[in-house]
Structure 1
Amino acid sequence: MMRRADRIQTPLSGTLVVRQLASRAITPPRSSVVPRARYSQAAAVAAPQPEEPFPCSNGVDEFWRKVPMWKDVSTDEFMSYSWTLKNLVEHHKRSAPEKLRGTLTGVLPGHVPLNRSGSILQSREDFISDIFDGIEKSSMSLRITPHAFSRINWQDPRHDPIFRQFIPLKSLMRPDHPQCEIDSLHEEDDKPVGALVHRYPDKALFLPIAVCPTYCAYCTRSWAVGPHTAEVTKKQLQPTLKRWEAAFEYIRATPQITDVVVSGGDAYYLTPEQLAYIGERLIKIPNVKKFRIASKGLGVAPNRILDPNDQWSDALLYVHRQALKAGKRVALHTHINHPNEISWVTKEASRKLIEGGLTVRNQSVLLRGINDDAETVSKLIRSLAEDLRIQPYYIYQCDMVQNVEHLRTPLQTIIDIESQLRGSIAGFDMPQFIVDLPKGGGKRLAGSHLSYDRNTGVSRFTAPAVTGGGTKVNKVYEYHDPLPLAAQTEHHPN
């Protein structure tokens, strides 16, 4: 643990004033953090006057109060991002299990449904043991923001679509397919420098950080993101100036790169100054015409966007304005998988960004038992497009990463969902249904396969634009469906 980044104040007499604030945000040791002194003066963002705190009234749905430990938390408190950081629900290898056990004991009923009908119950103690066993087997540590934690139906968590994304149950997990890998997309093979993946001729993926506000159990970058687990020793992506500068120099020296994705980890864990610094550097590289900031923050901690005491969204909108002045484009790519994740806070945060002129797009992952039906996907698309004014951009087939076999669906599922929805939703609101090909083949439309044997579960694709310096020319990539489900007993239904 160390101090969070410098925050930005309103300019005084035309100068920019930066001050230090402490919080619990996790960043690497001080010696490895990008030095503040190296930031350009303009990177200390000139923030607008702070907005008034979000009003607390009887008309506000204070959904977090359904969680016993937050029953007395006011709207103003909940909207504070510093409060969010102090109340993360976490567990990793060095955590005291009693803390998580106490949290779960406080939120769960004495018995929880074991099957969907609720005719079979499981004791709270057995359910909590199932969670701890799942964490031990998972590739990801446990971390959930209060917003996401509060959106879970704790009366029936086993079947809740938010719970299943972030909290693993050992009883639901299945053996990996033999072709699953921890780095299923082979991103390490396509890294010319430590912080950059260069797979497509004109696009690059910049990985400045490896921390997220909430850890997804199905993370495709579980080889690097978050703390070490019992299953995975992570490859660190430290936010050091040396790593970053090597990436910027590679981009500058590779003129065919015109498009950069800034991801991680999650850009939410970049400080406002770091976000502004990265934005400025990319804007100043002549060949970069557009870049995307990737963050799940809008989905799991939207209160930060509205918090008048936090400057991350001001930094993001600053970068957007600077890019427009330079004739370039910036977008935020967020990640919401299910309509239940969306609250009034999400809607207000989205409104602030959209009315600030920023393009916001959403990328979802198709997950078994969570959103793998046309009705749920349709509702999600319409909620994104109509309620949040966010473009539904991608629906991904779940990647073949290890320890998430219980969340993967056959390719046929995503093909069928697209077929059912096509024509029922306006074309400009219809996302692309995508397979990110194993072994570094990149993104392809799920229905664009060369062949698909539904008996073996093997689909074959080509990726003409991905050449890998000649090593991937004419290469055929295979995606493998999860192995058929074993017969479920009535005592362990999904």
Structure 2
Amino acid sequence: MRRVDRIQQSLPGILTARQLALRTSIPPHSSVASRAQYSQAVAVAAPAAEEPSSSSNRADEFWRKVPMWKDVSTDEFISWSWTKKNVVEHHSRSAPENLKGILASVLPDYVPFTSNASLVQSREEFIKDIFDGIAESSMSLRIMPHVFSHINWQDPRHDPVFRQFIPLKSLIQPDHPKSVYDSLHENHDSPVSGLVHRYPDKALFLPISVCPTYCLYCTRSYAVGADTSDVSKQQMKPILKRWEAAFKYIEDTPQITDVVVSGGDAYYLSPEQLAYIGERLIKIPNVKKFRIASKGLGVAPNRILDPNDQWSDALLWVHRLALKAGKRAALHTHINHPNEISWVTEEACRKLIEGGLTIRNQSVLLHGINDNVQTISKLIRALAEDLRISPYYVYQCDMVKKVEHLRTPLQTIMDIEAKIRGSIAGFDMPQFIVDLPEGGGKRLAGSYLSYDRDTGVSRYMAPAVTGGGTKENKVYEYYDPLPPTAQMDLTLRSLGGAD
């Protein structure tokens, strides 16, 4: 029996997906629902599906541009079951021929190496570049069909979606000497497995270490996904005993009022597991609010619309249960570029927001992907105006290994913020943040003690983060990426494009 099946069977009183969908009344506000009342809110939390508006772009079956999905209907593409069967992935146990065949079907004979196509790679050279990149990367490859369909396969090297999820050896730069896999010292700040307690009133709960799509720049690359040639992952499997140890710590620590449920990704919790975690947190008296963190809405929004899947029903049920208990629940998602957004994203957001759910977005500033005013401005407006998502954070890329080519200098994020502020309504303006190495937590990028642009070293303090007395008066340092090396010159030379 699979481990995920064992945990589902070990959660007494958890409702089946059918039960989640059938109950209609709402528990009284005076108390948290008992298990007998457990699933009564779903029909109110999840309004009946409506026909798409006349402005809907459902006719845009964008996935049909991918040859292997040219005959896939909209109903099939919306299906979460179909999506899981068609994930594009590669790891140590995969047959290389599978990914090579998929790539060969979407790539042209020659792929632009330079933006003006003055230098190109053959299809075979580009595929080898990908496989060499996978061998070098800290993350195994997993891409949902929604993401894969948004890549410009005629020029993937310069595509902002491709560059986030598929590594190229020719782009990877040597690591900064200060880069480490657990750059935020989450393990150091974990009193029990899968629970990070850094801020006095907030904890980060990590119930699972699987995601629908793996980002190359993952801050939790020490744990998320399958092992790679460079990293043996510290996996966090969905085991009830481990979860309960985390809940007991939260219960025994009354100053914790705020919990982030992340991973991995909460999208890979079953509806029953998600409902269990939500109810469990709501029943802890000191917990006043919590957020479910998931990139799922960004990379596989079709699941939210699938009438045969109950993950979104469970999420909305948890939201309504929290409201009735006088508490708050929200969804935090992760979209970095406007090109990731489709009509499927818009309709999925519409369903959740009309169900009353608050959604916030957290982006990461990435070199060659979104590190300019035009892209970030367009993204903020798309989130706030089209999706009705609150643009919450724009992060400086963390100092994890294997992502040096994606990091930007601190000056870049500050310049972007300065140029955007005043052009967008204040309530739609995200905070531009550095999550400090060694567990200093989130600080406004411009709140440094000092920043030497020549050495690239910025220094911060985080007075509220005391670490039980071990971090008082600690000064944290963030380092800009190293200057470009001769690696690109060597690559160009090998392709005949440099003297």
Cα 1:89–1:457 shift into 2, 3 Å: same
**Contact 1:182–1:401 (CA under 8 A) maintained in structure 2:** yes
Q: Secondary structure at the match of 1:170?
A: coil
Give 1:316 deviation, angstroms: 0.3
Alpha-carbon distance change, 12 to 375 in structure 1, aligned in 2, over 3 angstroms: closer
Cα separation, 1, equivalents of 2:39 and 2:328 = 21
For the Cα contact (< 8 Å) 1:45–1:314, is it kept in 2?
no
Please give the per-residue CA displacement for 1:344-403, whole angstroms capped at 9, x wherever unaligned: 000000011111110000000000000000110000000000000000000000000001
The answer for the alignment partner of 2:17 in structure 1 is 8
Q: TM-score scaled to structure 1, two decimals?
A: 0.91
Q: State the Cα distance separating 1:486 from its structure 2 match.
A: 2.4
Paired with 2:331 and 2:476, the residues of 1 have a C-alpha distance of: 30
Letter in 2 for 1:298: L
1:240-389 paired onto structure 2 within 5 Å: 240-389=239-388
Cα distance 1:226–1:53, how it changes in 2: closer, same or farther (>3 A)? farther
CA spacing shift, 1:267–1:369, aligned 2, 3 Å:
same
Aligned residue identity for 1:9: R
Is the contact between residue 21 and residue 42 of structure 2 (CA under 8 Å) also seen in structure 1?
no
Aligned to 2:431: 432
Partner deviation per Cα, 1:171-201 (whole Å, 9 max, x = no partner): 0000000000000000000001102100000
| 8 Å CA contact retained: 1:261, 1:291 | yes
Query: Is this contact kept in 1: 2:138–2:216, CA < 8 A?
Result: yes
**Residue aligning to 2:411:** 412
Contact conserved, 1:195 with 1:206, CA < 8 A, in 2? Answer: yes
2:101 corresponds in structure 1 to 102
Query: Any idea what the Cα deviations from partners look like across 1:75-101, whole Å, max 9, x if unmatched?
Result: 010010100000000000111101000
**3-state secondary structure, aligned to 1:477:** strand
Q: Give 3-state SS (helix, strand or coil) of 2:442's partner.
A: strand
Post-superposition offset of 1:40: 4.4
The answer to whether the Cα contact below 8 Å between 2:20 and 2:314 also exists between their aligned partners in 1 is no
Task: Give the corresponding residue for 2:220.
Answer: 221
Aligned to 2:79: 80
Q: Which residue of 1 aligns with 2:235?
A: 236
User: Counterparts of 1:127 and 1:42 in 2: how far apart (Å)?
Assistant: 56
Letter of the 2:101 counterpart: G
Contact 1:107 1:154 in 2 (8 A): yes
User: Helix, strand or coil for the counterpart of 1:209?
Assistant: coil
Following superposition, the deviation at residue 119 of structure 1 comes to 1.7
Question: What secondary structure does 2:367 align onto?
Answer: coil
What is the letter of the counterpart of residue 223 of structure 1? Y
Amino acid at match of 2:191: P
What secondary structure sits across from 1:60 in the alignment? coil
On the 8 A contact 1:9/1:46 being kept in 2, the answer is no
Match of 1:161 in 2: 160
Preserved CA contact (<8 Å) 1:8 1:45: no
The letter for the 2-side match of 1:239 is P
CA distance in 2, matches of 1:368, 1:395: 13
Deviation at 1:11, TM superposition (A): 7.1
C-alpha contact (below 8 Å) 1:8/1:46 kept by paired residues? no
Between the aligned partners of 2:128 and 2:22, the Cα distance in structure 1 is 59
Amino acid at match of 1:293: I
Are 1:47 and 1:311, in contact at CA under 8 Å, matched by a contact in 2?
no
TM-score by length of 2: 0.91
What is residue 67 of structure 1 aligned with on the other side? 66
Structure 1 residues 86-165: aligned runs within 5 Å: 86-165=85-164
Contact 2:57 2:343 in 1 (8 A): no
CA distance in 2, matches of 1:183, 1:485: 24
Check whether the contact 2:41–2:320 (CA below 8 A) recurs between aligned residues.
no
Over the matched positions of the two proteins, sequence identity in percent amounts to: 74
Q: List per-residue Cα deviations over 1:296-336 (Å, max 9, x = no partner).
A: 00000000001000000000000000000011001100000
Relative to structure 1, is the Cα distance of residues 361 and 11 closer, same or farther in structure 2, using a 3 angstrom cutoff? closer
Q: Counterpart in 1 of 2:399?
A: 400
1:14 CA displacement = 6.7
Secondary structure of the 1:239 match is coil
C-alpha displacement of 1:65: 0.2
**2: distance between equivalents of 1:14 and 1:405?**
50
The residue number in structure 1 matching 2:29 is: none
- CA shift digits 1:86-143 (9 cap, x unpaired): 0000000111101000010111111110000112111000000000000011110000
Map of 2:441 onto structure 1: 442
Letter in 2 for 1:390: I
Asked whether the 8 Å contact 1:55–1:76 carries over to 2, the reply is: no
Runs (5+) with no aligned partner, structure 2: 9-14, 26-33
Alpha-carbon deviation of 1:51?
4.1
Partner Cα separation in structure 1 for residue 172 and residue 114 of structure 2: 16
Partner of 2:30: none
Matched residue, 2:185? 186
1:300/1:11 CA distance change after superposition, 3 Å:
closer
| CA displacement 1:388-427 (0-9 Å, x = unmatched) | 0000000000000001111000101001100110111100
Q: Residue type of the partner of 1:414? A: I
Mapped to 2, the partners of 1:475 and 1:332 lie a distance apart of 32
Does the C-alpha gap of structure 1 residues 156 and 162 become closer, same or farther in structure 2, counting only changes over 3 Å?
same
1:174 paired residue number: 173
Matches of 2:263 and 2:194 in 1, distance apart? 9
State the secondary structure of the residue aligned to 2:446. helix
How many pairs were matched up?
A: 471
CA contact 2:19–2:39 (8 Å) conserved in 1? no
Q: Structure 1: 5+ residue runs without aligned partners?
A: 17-38
